[in-house]
């Protein structure tokens, strides 16, 4: 099968199971319909939940994966963000679905408390999307519009935070910009009808526009999230930077700023939601809990120290073989990851 690119007219061969194709001219062409459903890898904070998630996703044919990257705000968020520190926090519970999660609202509230009480963010500088009456729901449209809110009118010295707690998936990469052949995604509330948000989307909207003097920290607590920002460098357990630049040669860096990502796990791993880590037995994402605990206990912690702390906390639970981790047979099998738009000394102080 082939089609002509609407922008440049070039004849393009169509991959058999793609919902989105990028022409050499850069034009993104959505291809989804009921006969071209996208296969996704089974995963989840609970594998049985994710089987239901996968099955429902495959039954729906509406896929919209070509968002506008214009920084102009719609009427959804009319109040512009303040200069300096600003944060977007998204927690998706999927409360009306069989694959619902239990701890994401607690995750978001805990992250908001950390930013306000420990890191001097103001309430006005934080935008929360969650399935509660006080917030706008984390639908695909709202998440993409909130991305624009986070990125509008950037100035040198701005410190941006994007936090996500929810499901994550993988899908085949047909653009040759993934070393493992899969794109990573985050799943908004309406992902089964409106589609997921891919790492390409996130890189285009949150990473590439970063200008000199602007820093973005992304904290992603979802499955398959290791390279969810598509950043060129990934820090490994040997304490060195591994090259994650795409085989296609596509630029995945910034426009002079810096993007740093903390992810719950490797691209091929699942992220745990558990009460085993909390003294109060509160359900939370394992990565979120250990991240917040590390910063609460040591405000002068380094990037290396933060990564090591999260690894050690999870390993301590694994050694105890806590019975509360039934979906994982007594073990949290995830390795928190650090990635960046450029190499840097991880022994410097972590700073938002």
Neighbours of 82 (CB within 10 A): 12
Tens digits of residue pLDDT in 162-216 = 999 999 999 999 888 899 999 999 999 999 999 999 999 999 999 999 999 999 9
In the DSSP assignment, the letter for residue 129 is: E
Neighbours of 230 (CB within 10 A): 28
What percent of the chain shows pLDDT beyond 70? 74
Contact between 341 and 207 (Cβ < 8 Å) = yes
pLDDT score recorded for residue 344:
97
pLDDT above 80 (res 346): yes
Instruction: Report the chain's C-alpha Rg in angstroms.
Output: 19
pLDDT mean over 12-35 = 50
Per-residue model confidence (pLDDT) at position 328: 41
Distances (CA, A) of 135 to 78, 128, 279: 14, 6, 28
- pLDDT tens across 104-116, in order? 999 999 999 999 9
Res. 59: pLDDT tops 60: no
Confidence at residue 174, expressed as pLDDT on a 0 to 100 scale: 86
Lowest mean pLDDT among 88-97, 136-145, 281-290: 281-290
> Is residue 229 pLDDT above 80, yes or no?
yes
What is the full DSSP assignment across 101-169? -SSHHHHHHHHHHHHHHHS---GGGEEEE-SSTTSB---HHHHHHHHHHHHTT--TT-EEEEEEES-EE
Question: Residue 347: pLDDT above 90?
Answer: yes
Mean pLDDT over the full length of the chain: 82
Residue 162, pLDDT score: 98
Q: Are 100 and 173 spatial neighbours (Cβ–Cβ below 8 Å)?
A: no
**Is residue 127 pLDDT above 80, yes or no?**
yes
Write the DSSP assignment of 156-186 as a string of letters.
TT-EEEEEEES-EEEEE--SS--TTSEEEEE
pLDDT computed for residue 51 by the predictor: 52
CA angle, corner 203, sides to 292 and 241, nearest 5? Answer: 65
Q: What pLDDT was estimated at residue 11?
A: 60
Active-site choice (167, 217, 224, 265): 167
Q: Which of 223, 224, 265, 322 is the catalytic position?
A: 223
Domains of the chain: 2-36 (no CATH), 85-340 (3.40.50.12660)
**Is 223 in the active site?**
yes
On whether the CB atoms of residues 127 and 81 are closer than 8 A, the answer is yes
């Amino acid at each position: 099968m082939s089609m002509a690119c609407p922008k440049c007219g070039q004849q393009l061969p169509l991959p058999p199971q793609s919902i989105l194709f990028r022409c050499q001219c850069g034009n993104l062409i959505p291809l989804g319909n009921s006969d071209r459903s996208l296969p996704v890898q089974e995963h989840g904070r609970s594998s049985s939940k994710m089987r239901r998630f996968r099955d429902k996703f495959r039954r729906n044919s509406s896929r919209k994966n070509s968002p506008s990257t214009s920084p102009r705000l719609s009427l959804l968020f009319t109040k512009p963000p303040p200069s300096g520190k600003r944060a977007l926090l998204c927690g998706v519970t999927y409360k009306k679905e069989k694959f619902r999660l239990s701890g994401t609202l607690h995750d978001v509230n805990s992250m908001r408390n950390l930013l306000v009480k420990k890191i001097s963010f103001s309430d006005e500088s934080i935008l929360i999307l969650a399935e509660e009456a006080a917030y706008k729901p984390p639908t695909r449209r709202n998440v993409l519009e909130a991305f624009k809110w986070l990125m509008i009118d950037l100035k040198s010295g701005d410190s941006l935070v994007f936090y996500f707690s929810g499901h994550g998936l993988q899908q085949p990469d047909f653009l040759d910009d993934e070393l493992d052949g899969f794109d990573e995604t985050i799943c908004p509330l309406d992902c089964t009808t409106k589609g997921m948000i891919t790492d390409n989307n996130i890189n285009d909207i949150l990473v590439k526009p970063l200008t000199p003097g602007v820093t973005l920290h992304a904290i992603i607590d979802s499955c398959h999230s290791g390279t969810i920002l598509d950043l060129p460098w990934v820090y490994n357990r040997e304490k060195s930077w591994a090259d994650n630049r795409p085989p296609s040669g596509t630029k995945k860096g910034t426009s002079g700023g810096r993007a740093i990502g903390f992810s719950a796990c490797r691209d091929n791993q699942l992220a745990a939601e558990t009460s085993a880590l909390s003294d109060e037995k509160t359900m939370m994402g394992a990565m979120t809990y250990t991240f917040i605990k590390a910063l609460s206990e040591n405000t002068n912690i380094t990037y290396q120290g933060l990564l090591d702390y999260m690894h050690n906390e999870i390993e301590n639970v694994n050694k105890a073989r806590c019975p509360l981790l039934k979906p994982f047979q007594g073990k949290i099998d995830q390795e928190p990851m650090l990635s960046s738009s450029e190499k840097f000394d991880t022994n410097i102080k972590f700073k938002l």
